[in-house]
């Protein structure tokens, strides 16, 4: 089983690869799952909206690259958490964008893999 750090980096690899199905399987199918994004109303509570969210995300994104500024992943027993700051370059719904993305999250260890239980994202200033 990959460790929590490898799971976090695999998440970002799947985002860049536009691999919605891998992203969906990485999320914890639980009522306490939460994903908070950067757009107004971009909140998923519980696991029922995960598939729709990630399929829409990858369909709306092109020419995606992520450069890590920092990444810290801590793992204790069956819980892990991460913080990352990254430079995102992409076309979002056809519009080129470049900005700093800041994310935190919590993972839970299941019998088969580390799964994301919570993700929170915020953007820094756009790169001009």
Q: Are 34 and 84 in contact (CB under 8 A)?
A: no
> Stretch 90-100: mean pLDDT, rounded?
90
4: CB partners within 8 A, 6+ apart = 73, 74, 75, 80, 82, 107, 109, 114
Q: Is the pLDDT of residue 126 over 80?
A: no
Tell me the average pLDDT across 64-82: 97
Is residue 26 within 8 Å of residue 115, measured between CB atoms? yes
Model pTM score: 0.93
Position 25 pLDDT exceeds 90: yes
Distances (CA, A) of 65 to 10, 73, 74, 120: 14, 21, 24, 19
Structural domains of the chain, ranges and CATH numbers in brackets? 4-126 (3.10.450.50)
- pLDDT for 39 equals 86
pLDDT, average across residues 53-81: 96
Phi-psi region of 2 (alpha: psi -120 to 50; beta: other; left: phi over 0): beta
pLDDT band at 6 (very low <50, low <70, confident <90, very high): very high
Which residue reads 């399987």 in tokens?
A: 25
């Amino acid at each position: 089983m990959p460790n929590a750090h490898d799971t976090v980096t695999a998440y970002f690899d799947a985002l860049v690869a536009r691999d919605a199905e891998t992203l969906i399987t990485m999320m914890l199918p639980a009522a306490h799952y939460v994903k908070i994004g950067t757009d107004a109303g971009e909140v998923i509570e519980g696991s029922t909206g995960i598939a729709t969210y990630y399929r829409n995300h990858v369909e709306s994104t092109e020419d995606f690259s992520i450069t890590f500024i920092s990444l810290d992943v801590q793992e204790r027993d069956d819980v892990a958490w991460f913080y990352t700051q990254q430079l995102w370059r992409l076309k979002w719904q056809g519009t080129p964008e470049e900005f700093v993305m800041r994310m935190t999250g919590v993972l839970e260890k299941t019998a088969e893999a580390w799964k994301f239980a919570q993700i929170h994202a915020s953007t820094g200033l756009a790169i001009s």
